């Protein structure tokens, strides 16, 4: 469904990705793990077209989107819950959700919002609260909910567990599984390697801009290198 072929990405003269290839098949949860500064966010941003890859190709549903403008890419069935949540702090929960459905019809907004509220009852309770005043966990739910409002076929999540308590992380990961069961393909970027690999059908390990390992989630969990580097030995 999504494939990155030998992607190189530069920030000015600095090369952050040195030829990364990743494949996400329809209906899968694919996890990408890596340390701080490995280039995980850069990889996701390259998919979104900002910055664009300086070499290599990004294909989504067979179409080359490498050089498409970000606004087109984000309207073509990919949605992202960005790193650091980035909810609109001054808007209410409901308005945040409506922004997520900016390019859909009112009927769809209503339907999708109902669905999001079923997934996250917490958001329904707080729909008139300003997003900036919500807790980190609630904001993460909102970021995911907002991304879902566009009815994406593929969902990208950048470190959804960042700074959250284990209980909330568990809830968020349950939701991710539910999304996959509903037919949404998930590309998950995490530092929380254990949980992310447990959840994943397949996984990648990114190290300083290169894919180091690639296997099923279960195999990576057992892998010695992974255990040493990411699972605390």
Ligand X SMILES: Nc1ncnc2c1ncn2[C@@H]1O[C@H](COP(=O)(O)OP(=O)(O)OP(=O)(O)O)[C@@H](O)[C@H]1O
- Give the interface with ligand X as residue ranges (CB under 6 A): 11, 14, 16, 34, 36-42, 83, 191
Q: Using the rule CB under 8 A, is 102 a contact of other proteins? A: yes
- Name which of residues 71 to 130 contact Mg ion (CB under 5 A): 83
Q: Using the rule CB under 8 A, is 88 a contact of other proteins? A: yes
Q: Could you tell me which of 156, 152, 126, 149 has the C-alpha nearest to residue 139?
A: 126
| Contact range with other proteins by CB under 8 A, out of 23-31, 34-42, 98-106, 209-217 | 98-106
Residue pointed to by tokens 């910055």? 51
The angle subtended at Cα 150 by Cα 146 and Cα 154, nearest 5°, is 95
Q: Reduce the DSSP state of residue 180 to 3 states and report it.
A: helix
Angle between helices 106-119 and 136-148 in degrees, nearest 10: 140
Cβ at position 64, least distance to other proteins in Å: 19
Residue pointed to by tokens 């990648």? 204
Beta carbons within 8 Å of 98's beta carbon, 6+ residues apart:
109, 113, 149
Residue 26: other Cβ atoms inside 10 A: 12
Alpha-carbon distance of 205 to 211, in angstroms, equals 6
Q: Would you say 138 or 158 has its CB closer to ligand X?
A: 158
Q: Would you say 39 or 137 has its CB closer to ligand X?
A: 39
Q: Using the rule CB under 8 A, is 69 a contact of other proteins? A: yes
Tell the burial category of 210 from Cβ atoms under 10 Å away from its Cβ (0-12, 13-18, 19+). Answer: middle
What is the Rg, in whole angstroms, of the alpha carbon atoms belonging to the chain? 17
Could you tell which of Mg ion, other proteins, ligand X, none binds residue 91, using a CB distance below 5 to 8 A set by kind? other proteins
Cβ at position 206, least distance to ligand X in Å: 7
Residue 162: other Cβ atoms inside 10 A: 15
Query: Of 10, 86, 151, 194, which lies in the binding site for other proteins, with binding defined by CB under 8 A?
Result: 86
Could you tell which of Mg ion, other proteins, ligand X, none binds residue 75, using a CB distance below 5 to 8 A set by kind? other proteins
Q: Using the rule CB under 8 A, is 2 a contact of other proteins? A: no
Query: Of 6, 25, 54, 71, which lies in the binding site for other proteins, with binding defined by CB under 8 A?
Result: 71
Interface contacts to Mg ion, rule CB under 5 A: 40-41, 83
Interface contacts to other proteins, rule CB under 8 A: 48, 50, 69-72, 74-75, 79-80, 82, 86-92, 94-95, 98-100, 102-103, 106, 109-110, 113, 128, 146-147, 150
């Amino acid at each position: 469904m999504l494939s990155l072929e030998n992607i190189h990405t530069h920030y000015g003269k600095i090369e952050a990705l040195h030829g990364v290839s990743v494949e996400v098949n329809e209906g899968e949860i694919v996890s990408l793990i890596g340390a701080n500064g490995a280039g995980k966010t850069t990889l996701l941003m390259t998919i979104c077209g900002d910055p664009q890859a300086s070499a290599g190709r990004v294909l989504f549903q067979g179409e080359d989107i490498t050089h498409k403008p970000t606004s087109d890419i984000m309207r073509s069935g990919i949605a992202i819950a960005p790193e650091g949540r980035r909810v609109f702090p001054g808007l209410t929960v409901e308005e945040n959700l409506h922004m997520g459905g900016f390019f859909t019809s009112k009927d769809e907004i209503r339907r999708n919002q109902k669905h999001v509220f079923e997934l996250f009852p917490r958001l329904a309770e707080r729909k008139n609260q300003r997003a900036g005043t919500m807790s980190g966990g609630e904001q993460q739910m909102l970021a995911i909910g907002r991304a879902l409002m566009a009815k994406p076929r593929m969902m990208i999540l950048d470190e959804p567990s960042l700074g959250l308590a284990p209980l909330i992380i568990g809830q968020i990961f349950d939701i991710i599984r539910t999304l996959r069961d509903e037919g949404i393909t998930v590309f998950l970027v995490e530092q929380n390697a254990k949980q992310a690999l447990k959840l994943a059908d397949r996984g990648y390990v990114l190290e300083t801009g290169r894919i180091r390992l690639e296997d099923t989630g279960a195999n990576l969990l057992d892998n010695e290198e992974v255990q040493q580097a990411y699972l605390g030995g």
